[in-house]
Amino acid sequence: MAEFTLDLNDDQKEVRDWLHGFAADVIRPAASEWDEREETPWPVIQEAAKVGIYSLDFYAQQFFDPTGLGIPMAMEELFWGDAGIALSIVGTGLAAVGVLANGTEEQIGTWIPQMYGDPGDVKVAAFCSSEPDAGSDVGAMRTRAVYDQAKDEWVLNGTKTWATNGGIANVHVVVAVVDPELGSRGHASFIVPPRTAGLSQGQKFKKHGIRASHTAEVVLEDVRVPGSCLLGGKEKLDARLARARERAGGGGGERGRNAAMATFEASRPAVGAMAVGTARAAYEVALDYAKTRTQFGRPIIDNQGIAFQLADMRTQIDAARLLVWRASWMATTGKPFTSAEGSMSKLYASETAKKVTAQAVQILGGNGFTREYPVERMHRDAAIYTIFEGTSEIQRLVIARTLSGMPIR
């Protein structure tokens, strides 16, 4: 088991510097253009694929880093470059995590490579969980999957929303209800292969921030997928459902682990790292501006009102990173989140990103409110971190329930 350390090793430093260079040289120069266009930045994704950043091998290397710091380090550097473009580069990872968390070895080996494609033919993937009436409340999910035993096929019907890469993805991972009586414990995840009939893109959302990342509805109308596309397989699903029914019949109050939550539990510290990257980027812009902007004959950083803000910003960013690194190390080394450390990291880092980017806008004054400076975009982008993959309110609920052992509502 790797000991927890705050010192990156030489290999990690080399990867960090490589990613930082890509973010500075490729992502940042393109950020404003793709934010304005509100389109998937395919040329940037292709560049990332050419150098090996957008690839299964790269993310596998970071995912299996024994210290647990590979993924959060990568997320921070890429999102330091630009949140919208970075999410387009890493968005496929959420679908990949969904397969890793719930799939068999054969399914992992079959489908994850198809999510990325290759540098000459780049692909993306989508994880589809949220619905118009089921966001934080996953128990309200309505998308149904019904098994057709005669054909060994699952038939999916429903509408998903807020899906990153939804409709443009080569592979969709869809969470659906297989037993409505079991609530969230009656969910399962399915692979929808490329060009499957019945899957279509619904509304594409025009967003406040992360505008270079494609977000849309996914409509499923009598979508038929082979039995082999049920992640984990039917035998495992039947056994899990039987245990859930037994608990329900016995009046047990045990909270079940469902397919969507298995994915989110694995990804929350990574989202925290994304927020740290955005916050750090805004802080650095504000610090540089405060050193060079003069008012009343001196740099504005000479004023305590500005200097103290920057001191708080840096302190909060470092605290957020430490929470993210702790949670990532715990997850990798198999230590349970007995105090909801994963949710803690996501909560604090996302709230820090919103606060720090707002302070950066304030420090830049009128310039911060214009698109001539990047902090305006960073502030818009930061708003998403307290919303997706579990709102801040949900994180607090998870933490409170874990600490108290009570079914707090």
pLDDT digits 0-9 by tens, 144-202: 999 999 999 999 999 999 999 999 999 999 999 999 999 889 999 999 999 999 999 99
pLDDT greater than 90 at residue 90: yes
pLDDT greater than 80 at residue 7: yes
Mean pLDDT of 315-340: 95
Give pLDDT, residue 139. Answer: 75
Closest by CA position to 216, among listed 39, 386, 380: 39
- In single-letter form, the type of residue at position 223 comes to V
| Cα-based distances in Å from 368 to 7, 209, 374, 380, 409 | 34, 16, 8, 12, 39
| 266: confidence class by pLDDT, cuts 50, 70, 90 | low
Give pLDDT, residue 260. Answer: 55
Domain with CATH 1.10.540.10 in the chain: 10-121
Q: Which fold has domain 259-404?
A: Butyryl-CoA Dehydrogenase, subunit A; domain 3 (1.20.140)
Mean pLDDT of 206-231: 98
Residues known to be catalytic: 389
Mean pLDDT of 325-332: 95
Give pLDDT, residue 190. Answer: 98
Give pLDDT, residue 256. Answer: 46
What gap in Å lies between CA 63 and CA 59, rounded to an integer? 6
Mean pLDDT of 328-338: 93
Q: What is the pLDDT of residues 62-79, one digit of tens each?
A: 999 999 999 999 999 999
Domain with CATH 1.20.140.10 in the chain: 259-404
Write down the mean pLDDT value for the chain.
94
Mean pLDDT of 220-226: 98
Q: Output the CATH code of domain 125-249.
A: 2.40.110.10
Give pLDDT, residue 152. Answer: 98
pLDDT greater than 70 at residue 262: no
Give pLDDT, residue 252. Answer: 47
Q: What is the pLDDT of residues 344-401, one digit of tens each?
A: 999 999 999 999 999 999 999 999 999 999 999 999 999 999 999 899 999 999 999 9
Task: Note the CATH architecture for domain 10-121.
Answer: Orthogonal Bundle (1.10)
| 248: confidence class by pLDDT, cuts 50, 70, 90 | confident
Domain with CATH 2.40.110.10 in the chain: 125-249
Give pLDDT, residue 137. Answer: 76
pLDDT greater than 70 at residue 53: yes
Indicate the angle between helix axes 259-292 and 70-81, nearest 10 degrees. Answer: 50
| 279: confidence class by pLDDT, cuts 50, 70, 90 | very high
pLDDT greater than 70 at residue 242: yes
pTM score above 0.85: yes
